[in-house]
Structure 1
């Protein structure tokens, strides 16, 4: 029996898209079989089986019984991680000579990945050999693909990830009380006032403004 809706040939050797993973999650939750889902998506049923195994995880919620289910987001995340690892490991093999050279310079001589790549680019011996970029080297280190670790990169461990925030329109509040002249502190000179405000408990209360002359102790409240 021929299936007129079958489009397996069009999707052969193509990776599942996030949208298709969403369809798989919805159809699987609705109780459709792997073969039925494959027919609807134009895929071979083994692709659906592999995807369900890849994206199935156990969920733990406080006060509830753990349950296992397929999640499209999990399947996509696992797929992307596998693709990254696959490509990285293959590059590690083909550029193994440069990787060993980079690790030696970083661990034994304290070079940074950027210094290694910059140096190699200027050397004739590396002109026809496969190398990786500075960013790729850092990625390999972050992913623990090399025996070099972030702790081996002094400049990276000293970097401050928090940027200093400079307030351009910072209010100038005047001289600090601690810096006032001694004659003000000793109350020997008339004309120096202290000012303060007192706010009520409610946000719509009026504020009370108080002024005190330091020598005479004359007090005003508005």
Structure 2
């Protein structure tokens, strides 16, 4: 059986916050919420602010991450020319990505290079 990845809901975050304020252990919170203990640990670590874990802040942070993740970056013609030149020289997409980041200050993942220049 394959487990399907699901984001925590705002209600689950509220439940985590309430149980954490009541000094429940991460293991007990995980059982109560119905998720794994690493999920609780990751949630608390990623979404802890200056005042600790606040579920509304955690939800807003998560929503912002989702918005940012969906944005695609436009590759400029100059970068395309550089990529094509390096590919002709038999450079791997990983090498090109690292070189672009170091030498040109452009962050283009090797996955993007592979999908745009097969």
Q: Is the structural similarity TM-score above 0.5?
A: yes
Q: Which has the larger radius of gyration?
A: 1
Alpha-carbon distance in 2 for matches of 1:47, 1:39: 11
Give yes or no for the alignment of 1:78 onto 2:61: yes
Q: Which runs of 5+ in 1 are unaligned?
A: 1-8, 59-67, 102-222
Kindly indicate whether the alpha-carbon contact (under 8 Å) linking 1:12 and 1:43 is maintained by their aligned counterparts in 2: no
Higher helix fraction (1 or 2): 2
Residue 20 of structure 2 corresponds to: 28
**Aligned residue runs from structure 1 range 1-222, under 5 A:** 12-58=4-50, 68-88=51-71, 91-92=72-73, 96-97=74-75, 100=76
Residue 42 (structure 1) shift: 1.1
CA distance in 2, matches of 1:13, 1:84: 18
Any stretches of 5+ residues in structure 2 without a counterpart?
A: 78-118
**Rounded Cα–Cα distance in structure 1 between residues aligned with 2:4 and 2:42:** 15
Per chain length, whose mean CA-contact separation is higher, i.e. which structure has more relative contact order (CA < 8 Å, sep 6+)? 2
Tell me, in whole angstroms, the C-alpha distance in 1 between the residues paired with 2:13 and 2:62.
Answer: 11
For the Cα contact (< 8 Å) 1:34–1:49, is it kept in 2?
Answer: yes
CA distance in 1, matches of 2:23, 2:4: 25
Local SS of the residue matching 2:49: strand
For 1:24, what is the secondary structure of its paired residue? helix
